[in-house]
Amino acid sequence: MRFQRMGVIAVSVLSVIGLWSCQTPYHEQEERYVFVASNVNLPYWQEAQAGLTDAAKQMGVKAELAGPEKFDPQEQLQAFQKVVESKPSGIMISVTRPELLQNAINTAIAQGIPVITVDSDAPNSKRVMFIGTDNFRAGTESGKRMADILKGQGQIVIITIPGQLNLEERAGGMNEALKKYPGIRIAQTLDDKGDPRVANDGISALLKAKTKIDGIVCLEASGGSGAAEALHRVDAKIPIVGFDKDPETLDWIDRDGITATVTQKPYVMAYYALKFADDLHHNAVHDFKDWRTAPVAPMPTFVDTGTAVVDKSNVRRFVTH
């Protein structure tokens, strides 16, 4: 009897395994997601790629990073269009110019490809959701930190990329924060085009012209290290509030060349963006039958991944994490 029971159990287990093996896998063999960045050479996007890769491995899907090797909105548009033509399961994009990318995003959506904006949004497009930083609040943090450093008095230089929505939002937040400090004036705004060498040249030119600079606020990742290098070359001691935590920025904080930086979480953005895109592809959220025909997005329309401020007191924890 004992052997008979064991035989029945074994048959039952094998039957269940057989049923499992006959079920259709959740992820298709060729399921593929693409993240279109604004400048694939920046450490910021390499950190995002790490999050993308980790999520893809856990889920058993293919994921890749695409986009221009320098800040070039037109080239990003072409890269996005090429990705759409390849018909991936989903697209994530950090939008350089919303007005330039809007129609391309809408075309992808019309073809049934879910599009999620990450880090920088195209709010007037038909993208399903945005995941990234509350950039207005991040800009407020930058402005307040500089105002505290200068004790409410001084002339500051802003380094940014005009026309890029997330940076314009940061500028708005910074200006709002500085309204409380009438003793602080913005002397000049530099466009570094996302290149530390351009930021370096711009600050060097101002120093050569003997422009009065009491502080420098960088609203994008490349400006901090470029400005710090320019100051270091002439041994000038001017506080810098940078943005993001690329290795060069953290190194300059450690060397007292940058006072502080407001950091984002590109790894977290890309990690969860892929999971959201996968849920859309599989219509995993059953608020509506299909995201393509749903009257509203079945996902949160905005996920704030938060910020942190790094300075001399905590920089080692970010360098070694």
pLDDT digits (tens, 9 = 90+) for 113-143: 999 999 999 999 999 999 999 999 999 999 9
Q: Which amino acid is at 36?
A: V
Predicted pLDDT of residue 321: 58
Task: List the one residue out of 93, 41, 35, 90 whose CA is nearest residue 64.
Answer: 35
Q: Give the angle subtended at the CA of 277 by the CAs of 273 and 279, to the nearest 5°.
A: 120
The domain 135-263 having CATH identifier 3.40.50.2300: the answer here is: yes
The reported pTM is: 0.81
Mean of the per-residue pLDDT values of the chain:
91
Mean pLDDT of all residues in 15-36: 69
Predicted pLDDT of residue 21: 45
Q: What percent of the chain has pLDDT over 70?
A: 92
Instruction: Name the pLDDT band for 12 (thresholds 50, 70, 90).
Output: very low
d(CA 310, CA 294): 42
Residue showing tokens 């390849």: 86
Percent helix, strand, coil in the chain, to 5, is 45, 15, 35
Q: Which amino acid is at 176?
A: E
Predicted pLDDT of residue 25: 67
Handedness of CA 138, 143, 146, 147 (dihedral sign): negative
Q: Assign a CATH topology to domain 32-133+265-305.
A: Rossmann fold (3.40.50)
pLDDT digits (tens, 9 = 90+) for 67-95: 999 989 999 999 999 999 999 999 999 99
Contacts of 41 (CB under 8 A, 6+ apart): 69, 70
Q: Residue 14: is its pLDDT beyond 50?
A: no
Break the chain into its structural domains and give their ranges.
32-133+265-305, 135-263
pLDDT digits (tens, 9 = 90+) for 174-228: 999 999 999 999 999 999 998 999 999 999 999 999 999 999 999 999 999 999 9
pLDDT digits (tens, 9 = 90+) for 219-266: 999 999 999 999 999 999 999 999 999 899 999 999 999 999 999 999
Question: Is the fold of 32-133+265-305 the same as that of 135-263?
Answer: yes
Instruction: Name the pLDDT band for 43 (thresholds 50, 70, 90).
Output: confident
Predicted pLDDT of residue 42: 87
Instruction: Name the pLDDT band for 23 (thresholds 50, 70, 90).
Output: low
Q: Residue 50: is its pLDDT beyond 60?
A: yes
